A and B are shown apart, each in its own frame.
Chain A
Amino acid sequence: MIDGTRRTRTRLTSALGLGLVAVLSLSACAAPEPGSKTGTAGSSSLMLAADNGSPTFVKNFNPFVIEKRTTATIINEPLMVVNALDGKSTNFLQTNYTQPDAKTIVSDIREGVTWSDGEEFTADDVVFTYNLLKEFPALDSTGVWSRLESVNAEGQKVTFTLHAEDSSAPIIVLAVPIVAEHLWADVADPATFTNESPIGTGPYTLGDFNANQYKLEKNPDYWQADKVAAEQLVLPAANSQLDIVNNGYDWAYAFMSDVENTWVAADEGNQFWFPAGGTVAIAPNLTKAPYDDPNFRKGMSLALERDSIADNASEGTVDAAGQQGLLLPTQAEWLTDAIPDEGMVTQDTAAAEAAFAEAGYTIQDGKLVDADGNQATMTITTPNGWTDWLRAVQEIQKQYTAIGIDVKINQPQPAAYFQAVQNGDFDVAMTSFGGNGSVYQGYYNLLSSDFLQPVGTSASSNYQRYSNPEVDAMLTEFRTTVDEARQKELAGELQEVMYNDVPVISVYYAGLWGLFSDKSFTGWPDADNPYMTPTPYTSAALVILTTITKADG
């Protein structure tokens, strides 16, 4: 009996095994990806690495939530898009905006625009969208209602009234993606709404959607349809570096190791542009000795050989950053003459030692020691897995070790890193700032005591916990004045603070990793024409997609 059942089982198993082998070998010749196009010149569809599945796509086109399909910001246009490199704006759903005073923004809403379902777009939609964000703070991811008092429409004019005078408000307030009142008014909980059939005013509408790839089709009724060159956008979910190099993308966003020999060499017409999109800095914890002493911080700044750090961090594709807190060259017009060398600090060991000496630290037997003979120690906190930062920290460690500081590297997981820096639980932390197009916002987020929190309480910015009433006064005046000349003067004073008081030590620029192909489309932004950041996952894509043209041939 037992024998009988056993035999059956054995046969069944082997039969199953054989069957599987047969099925598997049949499918062995299944062709590789049908969807990947291999660089067909002159194609009217544009393959884009802008949205990564994890590993597949979830259909969520709610433009306000973090886990959205990034192209929701192409489907739903804002009033205007700001170039984060220089703060210049391009109008979309408005034709113009004015600031009659520093507390008011008036936007002229574009006429003749329709939603992709045929309904007319009106100023009421704009007001509705802003009030939606007010009602559901979960949607307000840029904090517009921390600035706004009210939003009202009068004909084609929408008036934004601010809480306080704030000349820097437009670039944040006017950048919200606008949704249709007739579709969103009935949504019970917009924060969990997944907006599976997105309707927008943008240049593209949702086409085929699959978990591994989706398409956006050109919106034939788009208000500037003549400017839209690509008939279709193709977005695969998997965009590894291997995929990007091998599958013939037209526009990708990825740091590419050895970019000349990989991406550029892969296909004719491949090019890259890695502009500075923020400043990577080391933030000393100003509540701790010896970092509370500006002389010590100056020593830290002078001891660094920034070029080699930048070189190590991103394989020589980004530049060292100056101590003035600006993104160069795109914000060069804001530079002051009051600081030497446009704020660049070059390594000067003698000067660094002099600065350390003023802070009470001297070199003995190759070690930097305080009055009691104890060696200066420093733990640099950087998130685990952020390899460019880590490479930079390793180089910083080498350089500080050379001057006699005992440096350790602490690499918590990214979430733990953020908890640590927000709570002020660090000696020196890798951090980044700037890069949203506004010189004022850059300095404000970095230096304002509005963010000041005691150690142990989470601060949302100004992690180094800098507090200086004079700087606060400068920032307030910067915010309230609409006089550009005065703004530039204040920016100059802030640069002097950055340079002389060293609240953080700027090290190098964080690159934006734009990879483009000229094969099917031309007119991508580059160093000569930096009209927009090469970031396809933001509304910057709107500007680029309405600027590029079809390549000849």
Chain B
Amino acid sequence: MWYLLRKLGLLLLTAWAAITLNFLLPRLMPGTPADAAIAKLAQNGPVDPATRAAIEAQLGVPTGDAWSQYVQYLGNVSRLDFGVSYTFFPQSVSTLVMNALPWTLVMVGLVTIIAFVVGTLLGVLAAWKRGTWLDTLPTLGGTFTSAFPYFWTALLVVFFLGYQLKWFPTSGAYGLESTPNLSLAFISDVIGHAWLPALTILITSVGGWILGMRNNMINTLGDDYVTFAEANGLRSRTVAVKYAARNAILPNLTGFGLSLGGVVGGSLLVEQVFNYPGVGYLLYNAVTNQDFPLMQALFLMLTISMLLANFLVDLLYGLLDPRTRR
């Protein structure tokens, strides 16, 4: 119980620190939201001096000193009210986040799960067939593809599969003329659009799981109880799956937990290349447009979900391995 309370205390403290950092970080950036808005307009040519006043009036640029802004911010966070976005004025931050979140959760979430499942299976296979091509191919291939920069993979995938072969649509989360609904046609449209971004994330992330699982598996296969089981005449495959893999997967599972915690962050570069309307793209917009309210909300959501995932993984470890509780 004491263990749990201490962990919980630390969690709350970290959460407060993260919330405070989220307040400070955007304000470190030079330039105001109005400057960012003018910068955007100015890309199309010189901006009239009168425009600035109108933009400031529209956005209602924050007033008061930093401390009163901070107190107000804490109050807003406690009510989960993040105000109105500057970039997408006059939409509220909550609406924007709620619109973007499902896309990211479904696309990035599913790919994370698929990458984990595929990677882990390949890792088990590689360790079991060590030294054969079933080992070399996934291990070397995984090493190589996981070294691909995300954006580069995305650009190549767009060009070859999207524009050259025209197999998949290259941008957006659904067709040009569809409106989100729950019909079968729309869902298959969504899946069609998810292919390329999903493939990009899969290519670059599956290698990590393969290598991790392979090494865990090789360790476990060397353990006495596995040797013992084999010596007792159990079939190799039974040993591999029932004894070795089951134990070897534990560390990978915790990594998986943390990955899921990070899913809400989406994948900024991938979503940006594919115009995918998820959290990653929203975050990019917020950061590049000095959109303090949106940045605060997104950073908060990300940090809290990472914190929770960390916390749960820690708890899980505490349960599975009493030694770490010290």
B98 touches A (CB below 8 Å)? no
A8 touches B (CB below 8 Å)? no
Contact B57 A137 (CB under 8 A): yes
B76 touches A (CB below 8 Å)? no
Q: Are A415 and B177 CB-contacts (below 8 A) given A17-B118, A192-B90, A445-B49?
A: no
CA distance A58 to B85 in the complex (A): 13
CA distance A138 to B89 in the complex (A): 12
Residue of A nearest to B285 (CB): A54
Give the chain A neighbours of B195 by CB distance below 8 A.
24, 27-28
CA distance A433 to B49 in the complex (A): 11
The minimal Cβ–Cβ distance linking A193 to chain B, given in whole angstroms, is 8
Q: Hey, what's the 0/1 contact readout for A231-264 against B, CB within 8 Å counting as 1? A: 0000011101011001000000000000000000
The minimal Cβ–Cβ distance linking B219 to chain A, given in whole angstroms, is 20
Residue of B nearest to A434 (CB): B46
Q: Hey, what's the 0/1 contact readout for B211-247 against A, CB within 8 Å counting as 1? A: 0000000000000000000000000000000000010
- Partner-binding segment picked from A33-41, A87-95, A352-360: A33-41
Q: Hey, what's the 0/1 contact readout for A9-29 against B, CB within 8 Å counting as 1? A: 000011011001101101110
Q: How many residues of A contact B (CB 8 A)?
A: 80
Contact A435 B46 (CB under 8 A): yes
* Partner among A32, A139, A191, A414 whose Cβ is within 8 Å of the Cβ of B169: A32
Contact A141 B55 (CB under 8 A): yes
* Partner among A66, A383, A412, A418 whose Cβ is within 8 Å of the Cβ of B58: A66
Residue of A nearest to B159 (CB): A242
User: Which of A14, A32, A172 has most chain B Cβ within 10 Å?
Assistant: A32
Residue of B nearest to A141 (CB): B54
CA distance A154 to B228 in the complex (A): 103
- Partner-binding segment picked from B31-39, B129-137, B304-312: B31-39
Residue of B nearest to A418 (CB): B35
The minimal Cβ–Cβ distance linking A425 to chain B, given in whole angstroms, is 10
Contact B49 A143 (CB under 8 A): yes
B166 touches A (CB below 8 Å)? yes
* Partner among A6, A17, A418, A435 whose Cβ is within 8 Å of the Cβ of B39: A418
B257 touches A (CB below 8 Å)? no
B1 touches A (CB below 8 Å)? no
Contact B45 A146 (CB under 8 A): no
- Partner-binding segment picked from A180-188, A206-214, A218-226: A206-214
User: Which of A30, A55, A67 has most chain B Cβ within 10 Å?
Assistant: A55
Give the chain A neighbours of B87 by CB distance below 8 A.
54, 67
Q: Are A432 and B45 CB-contacts (below 8 A) given A33-B176, A67-B87?
A: yes
CA distance A451 to B48 in the complex (A): 12
The minimal Cβ–Cβ distance linking B250 to chain A, given in whole angstroms, is 11
User: Which of A65, A242, A414 has most chain B Cβ within 10 Å?
Assistant: A414
Contact B36 A414 (CB under 8 A): yes
- Partner-binding segment picked from B7-15, B185-193, B262-270: B185-193
Q: Hey, what's the 0/1 contact readout for B45-79 against A, CB within 8 Å counting as 1? A: 11011111111011000000000000000000000
* Partner among B30, B171, B191, B275 whose Cβ is within 8 Å of the Cβ of A415: B30
CA distance A461 to B193 in the complex (A): 45
Q: Known contacts A33-B176, A55-B172, A240-B171; can you find 13 more A-B pairs with CB under 8 A?
A: A16-B117, A17-B118, A20-B110, A26-B188, A65-B89, A141-B50, A143-B53, A143-B54, A211-B180, A412-B31, A413-B30, A414-B39, A415-B31
Can you list 20 A-B pairs with a CB-CB distance of less than 8 A?
A13-B117, A20-B114, A33-B175, A54-B281, A55-B172, A66-B55, A136-B57, A141-B55, A211-B180, A211-B277, A413-B29, A413-B288, A414-B39, A415-B29, A415-B36, A435-B45, A436-B46, A460-B49, A512-B45, A537-B44
